[in-house]
Amino acid sequence: MVRENEIRDKEVAVAPPQATDAGLAFIGTIRTPWTSRLACPRQGRADGPICRIELFAPWDQALDGIERFERLEVLYWLHQSRRDLVRQSPANNGETRGTFALRTPVRPNPIGTSIATLVAREGPVLLVRGLDCLDETPLLDIKPDRTLFKPIAPPQPGDFETG
């Protein structure tokens, strides 16, 4: 069941962190078909609708080379989330789990991540599939999918450490 902002049976809230953006700079806006949390997918799907990631200047310049990657890791700020629950009941049935054992949007720092498929780049805009956030969700960061990315910088000692 999707939460708006209610606290459910047996859930545990604590004093929330101060609601600042922790010094993060929003670098763009994500445009999706979803205007209600009740309608969003719980997790984005690779065959989901095309969404737009609109970069603010000057960060559009940071997209150079991104077309090399079929998939991107997108980080976003789930700006409508409450941030004070340490135990949550996803099924709203009185059974709870710790927040960090869930991918719930309700977390002390409401960062969402998705692996998105890059469909096209149109200047400062990326067209992608695979997101699950509300229209106008603030964008935090974009990285190549780690399984597709090979470091360009030379290796360093820690790269060879095991155990």
Contacts with ligand SAM, residue ranges (CB under 6 A): 2, 37, 40-44, 78-81, 103-105, 112-114, 132-134, 137
Report which of 65, 79, 42, 78 is spatially closest to residue 118, judged by C-alpha positions. Answer: 65
Q: What are phi and psi of 60, to 5 degrees?
A: -60, -30
To the nearest whole angstrom, how small is the minimum distance from the Cβ of residue 137 to ligand SAM? 4
CB of 40 to ligand SAM, least distance (A): 4
Nearer residue to ligand SAM within complex by CB, 40 or 55: 40
Q: Each residue of 15-37: b (16+ CB within 10 Å) or e? A: eeeeeeeeeeeebbbbbbebeeb
C-alpha–C-alpha distance, residues 43 and 135, integer Å: 15
Nearer to ligand SAM, 43 or 109 (CB): 43
The smaller minimum CB distance to ligand SAM, of residues 22 and 153, is found at: 22
Q: How far is the CB of 8 from ligand SAM (least distance, A)?
A: 14
